[in-house]
């Protein structure tokens, strides 16, 4: 009796034969070794694709003592993480860089990690390195991560050490640009809806707002924390309107918050930008879903994610000559709100 079974899975040897190289060369390409010339590496990758070869991750991990996994750590509330399009762009950028690598991404929503669960997982060998986004000055557990793993921070961190890497935008300059746009429109009293001041990015955007006002001699309106949420910004907007300050311009430190603040103005019959002009920050899709198309400061969120993953992959491969701080530029996008 003849037994019919599935064809055996492609092996390293079959890939080597197809590419016309040795088994050792295929292994070096699969493991990302930089010593293989580009034409030979391309021939091996083409053979891998044609044969549908899938490396044995478990076996490779035993040899390399690497998990081939990277953690994305977000010390945030779950609702805020999944409700903010900024994070979606960051993840898309990370995923784009990891697509052509052997690394997989583990997402960890570590809301200040009161139980230490995140640290136990990260320190147990489950991942080779970590990307940390949306961190607060109160997130002291992050310092222990930097002591045990290579880490790249998205945004400046209070716990970043000499061996950590940072990818950020120039938040101060971006906020200055946003505020100057309001000043150029003739706004005489400019408020701001800020992010939490436990976050360096929020502090930097507040600094840029103040700097632009001081340089122009324009009066500062109220500073109200909107918590980087729509709900928080709506509350902040009501607080500004109920204050004695008659503002005619508002810098909102994120588009998501602007999408919560704008409806409060419109519901009260306040025209935007005729009565109150608004500039946001991010240039996310929220900027186009506010009832009035939002003038905003574009930060390259997806590019930030790509660079964070790229730096970490290089560091894990032993290429530690990367700059420890990469600051990307911002750009004003003029629409209807200012």
Could you tell me the pLDDT band of residue 235, with boundaries at 50, 70 and 90? Answer: very high
The residue-averaged pLDDT of 296-325 equals 91
pLDDT tops 50 at residue 150: yes
Residue 218 near residue 188 (C-beta atoms within 8 A): yes
Distance CA 152, CA 313 (A): 10
How high is the pLDDT of residue 113? 60
Distance CA 33, CA 179 (A): 48
Do the domains 171-299 and 69-169+301-328 match in fold? yes
Residue 254 near residue 196 (C-beta atoms within 8 A): no
User: Which phi and psi angles does 93 have, rounded to 5°?
Assistant: -65, -40
The CB-side HSE value for 225 (13 A sphere, CA atoms) comes to: 7
Token pair 């930089």 is found at 34
The CB-side HSE value for 25 (13 A sphere, CA atoms) comes to: 21
Distance CA 120, CA 224 (A): 37
The residue-averaged pLDDT of 166-175 equals 95
| Both structure tokens of 30 | 């699969």
pTM score, whole prediction: 0.76
Q: Among 64-73, 148-157, 210-219, 306-315, which stretch is predicted with the lowest mean pLDDT?
A: 64-73
- CA distances, 186 to each of 8, 189, 253, 256 (Å): 73, 9, 20, 25
Please state the CATH superfamily assignment of the domain spanning residues 12-55 in this structure. lambda repressor-like DNA-binding domains (1.10.260.40)
How high is the pLDDT of residue 60? 45
Give 320's contacts (C-beta < 8 A, 6+ positions apart): 314
Give 119's contacts (C-beta < 8 A, 6+ positions apart): 113, 141, 144, 145
On whether the 171-299 domain is CATH 2.60.40.10, my answer is no
pLDDT tops 90 at residue 237: yes
Q: Among 59-73, 102-116, 250-264, 313-327, which stretch is predicted with the lowest mean pLDDT?
A: 59-73
Domain spanning 69-169+301-328, CATH class: alpha beta
The residue-averaged pLDDT of 228-239 equals 95
How high is the pLDDT of residue 258? 95
The residue-averaged pLDDT of 258-264 equals 94
Nearest to 179 by CA among 282, 262, 250, 271: 250
Cβ neighbour number for residue 275 with a 10 Å cutoff: 12
Pairing, β 295-298 against β 151-154? unpaired
Could you tell me the pLDDT band of residue 96, with boundaries at 50, 70 and 90? Answer: very high
Q: What b-and-e string marks burial along 9-44, b requiring 16 or more CB atoms within 10 Å of the CB? A: ebebebbbebbebeeebbbbbbbbeeebeeebbebb
Could you tell me the pLDDT band of residue 260, with boundaries at 50, 70 and 90? Answer: very high
Pairing, β 151-154 against β 129-133? parallel
Distance CA 269, CA 112 (A): 40
How high is the pLDDT of residue 92? 94
Map out the domains of the chain as residue ranges: 12-55, 69-169+301-328, 171-299
């Amino acid at each position: 009796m003849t037994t019919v079974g599935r064809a055996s899975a492609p092996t390293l040897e079959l890939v080597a034969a197809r590419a016309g190289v040795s088994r050792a060369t295929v292994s070096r390409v699969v493991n990302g070794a930089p010593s293989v010339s580009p034409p030979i590496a391309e021939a091996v990758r083409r053979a891998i694709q044609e044969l549908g070869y899938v490396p044995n991750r478990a076996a490779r991990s035993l040899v390399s003592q690497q998990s081939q996994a990277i953690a994305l750590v977000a010390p945030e509330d779950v609702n805020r993480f999944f409700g903010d399009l900024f994070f979606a762009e960051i993840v898309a950028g990370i995923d784009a860089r990891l697509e052509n690598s052997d690394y997989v991404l583990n997402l960890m929503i570590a809301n200040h990690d009161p139980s230490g669960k995140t640290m136990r997982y990260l320190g147990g060998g489950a991942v080779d390195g970590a990307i940390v986004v949306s961190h607060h000055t109160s997130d002291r557990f992050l310092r222990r991560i930097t002591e045990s793993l290579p880490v790249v921070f998205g945004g400046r961190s209070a716990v970043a050490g000499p061996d950590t890497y940072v990818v950020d935008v120039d938040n101060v300059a971006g906020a200055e640009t946003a505020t100057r746009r309001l000043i150029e429109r003739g706004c005489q009293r400019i408020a701001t809806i800020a992010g939490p001041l436990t976050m360096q990015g929020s502090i930097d955007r507040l600094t840029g707002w103040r700097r632009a006002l001081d340089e122009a001699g324009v009066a500062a309106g109220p500073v109200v924390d909107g918590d980087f949420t729509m709900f928080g910004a709506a509350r902040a907007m009501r607080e500004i309107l109920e204050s004695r300050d008659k503002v005619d311009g508002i810098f909102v430190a994120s588009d998501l918050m602007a999408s919560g603040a704008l409806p409060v103005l419109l519901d009260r019959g306040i025209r935007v930008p005729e009565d109150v002009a608004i500039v946001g920050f991010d240039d996310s899709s929220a900027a186009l879903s506010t009832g009035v198309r939002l003038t905003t400061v574009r930060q390259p969120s997806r590019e930030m994610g790509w660079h964070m993953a790229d730096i970490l992959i290089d560091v894990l491969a032993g290429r530690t000559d990367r700059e420890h701080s990469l600051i990307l530029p911002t750009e004003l996008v003029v629409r209807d709100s200012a």
